[in-house]
Amino acid sequence: MIPFAFQTTRHVVVEPGASGRIGTLVAELGARHVFLVTDRGIEAAGLLEPALNGLRAAGIAVTLHTDVVADPPEALVLKAVEAARAAGADAVVSVGGGSSMDVAKLVALLVPGRQQLADIYGVGLARGPRLPLVLAPTTAGTGSEVTPISIVTTGAGEKKGVVAPVLIPDVAVLDADLTLGLPAPVTAATGVDAMVHAIEAFTSKRLKNPVSDCLAREALRLLAGNIAEACRNGSNRDARQAMLLGSMLAGMAFANAPVAAVHALAYPVGARFHVPHGLSNALVLPAVLRFNMTAAEALYAELAGIVVPEAGGSEAARAAALVDRLGRLGGELGLPVRLAEVGITAADVPALAEDAMKQTRLLINNPREVTLADATRIYGESL
């Protein structure tokens, strides 16, 4: 067996209504003053109430920070750090999507730390200490509540990651009630993101291991089995809780067996055209899967047993059935299926392909090497 290491969030609470217990969970970590990071949409939807009530009941002071926007820019992160410092917060909580959770993670790191954000992009550069960190996702989703990753949009639209074990949160709170009102298009896009995390972890070239494989398989089973129902009937609490569990398990998998070309090609789409992260993934997924087929056929055939169990025949036939099924998924969920539908034209492809090649942190994990010509062709096929 290939030697491996595995790290994840050490405390997870999975229960509808669990965000009401954040106050107790934070108190157990010794905190007295929480910096609560979220966005205005979450606040307006009333999703903070259980957490705020629980924090109040536990006698914990709260500074509420609702300034997060999707694909958070660097300047927004730095402002949040200043606000948390000025407030004297001693713990960070987020109730929100990946954007809010990623900002919360960097606030927890940068408030007590001596490093500058600009110096820690990349893998393994960030060091502690950091403030206690409790995350409750409102999308299912990024899995950020269990990953060592925070994604920031820098300069003129490049997405960079800070990746280091110190960013793995202390507690993940998976409360299906937070996701009951998530609109169908966001449910679909974020759910596809989670499925891509499971698939890319399972086919990751470098750090795939027996634990990440178990998690990726179970994640894909939960996500593939519940995504259509969660989109169709958003108030189905069981489907919502299954989606949250699936996205967390996928997060645990890809935190250790990192994602690859789908994400590398999706990031430039998100950064340059402000296409939501999950949708960016969904748009390039079919062409990347077809491209990877020659290198990942056996693994795709194994995943076909979970996603299209009715598919039979040779390994190649089962792998093709998986690729075909996933290629149709976005359209079936009502998502745009062509890059052209989000305003991208052939003239944009060279710049997108060049940006994708900068995502070396991700491309090294792809089962098949991706050249600039390959990236250009994949975007072209996705137009």
Residue numbers of the site for Fe ion (CB under 5 A)? 193
User: Contact between 138 and ligand NAD (CB under 6 A)?
Assistant: yes
C-beta nearest to ligand NAD: residue: 97
User: Contact between 150 and ligand NAD (CB under 6 A)?
Assistant: yes
Burial of 266-275, coded b for 16+ CB within 10 Å and e otherwise, reads bbbbbbbeeb
Q: Decide which of Fe ion, ligand NAD, none touches 147; Cβ closer than 5 to 8 Å per partner kind.
A: ligand NAD
By CB under 6 A, name the one of 9, 94, 139, 241 that touches ligand NAD: 139
* Contacting range for ligand NAD; rule: CB under 6 A; set: 115-123, 173-181, 315-323, 369-377: 173-181
User: Contact between 50 and ligand NAD (CB under 6 A)?
Assistant: no
Q: What is the 3-state secondary structure (H, E, C) of 88-120?
A: CCCEEEEEECHHHHHHHHHHHHHCCCCCCHHHC
* Contacting range for ligand NAD; rule: CB under 6 A; set: 6-14, 15-23, 146-154, 351-359: 146-154
Minimum CB distance to ligand NAD, residue 147 (Å): 4
* 382 contacts 339 by C-beta, under 8 angstroms: yes
CA dihedral sign of residues 217, 222, 228, 230: negative
Closer residue to ligand NAD, CB minimum distance, 19 or 58: 19
Cα distances (angstroms) measured from residue 73 to each of 101, 154, 164, 177: 14, 6, 19, 29
11 strand-pairing partners: 171
CA dihedral sign of residues 308, 313, 315, 317: negative
Closer residue to Fe ion, CB minimum distance, 95 or 259: 259
Closer residue to ligand NAD, CB minimum distance, 190 or 365: 190
DSSP string, 255-317: HHS---HHHHHHHHHHHHH---HHHHHHHHHHHHHHHHHHHHHHHHHHHHHHH-TT--SSHHH
By CB under 6 A, name the one of 179, 209, 226, 366 that touches ligand NAD: 179
By CB under 6 A, name the one of 27, 52, 135, 151 that touches ligand NAD: 151
Binding site for ligand NAD (CB under 6 A): 39, 41-42, 45, 47, 70-71, 96-100, 102, 138-139, 141-144, 147, 149-151, 159, 178-179, 181-182, 186, 190, 277-278
